[in-house]
Structure 1
């Protein structure tokens, strides 16, 4: 079935391959911390933050009804900023080996957990249950989107590593701005584009963001202090 094999490879095979590599590189704790960070972000930020804010503010409810595009952008921005602060706290407090590889596997863990939950589990359900509609092209597109998000998570984690090691808050600002720019652009596109072109536009944004942040992660390897023996 066209589309499904690619979705299965990206959303199920790749996460377990990356976890296996992290074990071989002795970076499994960093990978699992990334998974934990995704779970915390999902439970606290994505699921409860919007409902909590709406429940506390009548003004936000009015904004949501009257200005859905602006509301979507604001919620996306708040979620991106909260996500980067959560990443900073977890990496600063719990990540013992603050090296380039640890940051890469930390981001890979976040991305792997996300693609497994959002794409892998539903794809398997669609394959094994005849009652669940199968949309292989959609699964393939979303898996590519999640692969780009994994690349973004790796780049953002390396930015946060720089913030921690250099004690330079500009790296935190760069992570927040980058994450927010991508999320708000994707959140705003459905309100200004024809539905037939939305998927292609959203994928373009994620691909560009993923390549830029992953490229930064690769380039920054030479710039990060390599004097620590725990580098490799």
Structure 2
């Protein structure tokens, strides 16, 4: 597996390369819109909402203690569904040029922001600060996970664009189900597998999900009529 520098290349260098490509393709605002959407989702959905719900409901606290596996899966699934609804709203309301390229760079921006914030920044901190635990293998695995997530975000954004351009809610449902299924499997695996096998299984889920969604995006764009990248403003 890649070492620490490899993790930094994937989680820091690659996002800036992708941003540079978006500038060259005149899609930098779309890339940054994807970044902003991820940050908003991280702050509201992943960090604030679970704490807010637990603070308001004693029943949820009891459920979390008695059924940690089910609780983890439900919270993750709800977050995935909420994230896809947020993606829909942002792309529908704020994405001016609703084109295939825009969908790809929007998803790339989301995935890049996640890689940079969740892996890149901690990896740099571990390198420059002796007080932060240094686990190259963990960061290397996380970078592979984030690379898969970039592909997932692209595929999910293409699905959402199809929903918006065709006004077909089946694509929104497919995005929600796909995202929820991946998060559910990842959340449940640690409760049913031996610790020695958990990391490999989780990476397998992310890689498979990323390849399937990115593959779908490629097929959708290249199918008859898909290459006509006309804006639907």
Q: TM-score higher than 0.5 here?
A: yes
Matches within 5 A, 1:155-166: 155-166=155-166
Spell out, residue by residue over 1:187-211, the C-alpha distance to the aligned partner (whole angstroms, 9 max, x if none).
0000000000000000000000000
Query: How big is the shift at 1:229?
Result: 4.3
Query: How big is the shift at 1:62?
Result: 1.2
What is residue 112 of structure 1 aligned with on the other side?
112
Distance 1:131 1:58 in 2: 37
Residues 100 and 229, structure 2, Cα contact 8 Å, conserved in 1: no
What is residue 33 of structure 1 aligned with on the other side?
33
Q: Where does structure 1 differ by over 3 angstroms across 4 or more consecutive aligned residues?
A: 223-231
Query: How big is the shift at 1:130?
Result: 2.0
Query: How big is the shift at 1:128?
Result: 1.3
In structure 2, stretches of 5+ residues that fail to align are none
* Helix, strand or coil at the partner of 1:84: helix
* CA RMSD after TM alignment: 1.3
2:52 counterpart of 1:52: yes
Distance 2:178 2:26 in 1: 29
Spell out, residue by residue over 1:201-226, the C-alpha distance to the aligned partner (whole angstroms, 9 max, x if none).
00000000000000011111023554
What is residue 66 of structure 1 aligned with on the other side?
66
Distance 1:37 1:162 in 2: 19
Spell out, residue by residue over 1:10-68, the C-alpha distance to the aligned partner (whole angstroms, 9 max, x if none).
00110000000000001111100000000100110001111111122222111101000
What is residue 173 of structure 1 aligned with on the other side?
173
Distance 2:123 2:192 in 1: 30
Spell out, residue by residue over 1:132-171, the C-alpha distance to the aligned partner (whole angstroms, 9 max, x if none).
2211111100000011011100100000000000000000
What is residue 205 of structure 1 aligned with on the other side?
205
What is residue 6 of structure 2 aligned with on the other side?
6
* Structure 1 length-normalised TM: 0.96
Distance 2:85 2:230 in 1: 28
Distance 1:183 1:116 in 2: 20
* Helix, strand or coil at the partner of 2:222: coil
Residues 107 and 155, structure 2, Cα contact 8 Å, conserved in 1: yes
Distance 1:182 1:94 in 2: 27
Cα gap change, 1:126 to 1:142, in 2 (>3 Å):
same
Distance 2:169 2:213 in 1: 18
What is residue 76 of structure 1 aligned with on the other side?
76
Distance 1:161 1:123 in 2: 33
What is residue 196 of structure 1 aligned with on the other side?
196
Distance 2:80 2:29 in 1: 24
* Structure 2 length-normalised TM: 0.96
Mean CA deviation greater in 47-56 or 22-31:
47-56
What is residue 129 of structure 1 aligned with on the other side?
129
Query: How big is the shift at 1:228?
Result: 4.9
What is residue 17 of structure 2 aligned with on the other side?
17
* Helix, strand or coil at the partner of 2:133: coil
What is residue 94 of structure 1 aligned with on the other side?
94
Count of equivalent residues: 230
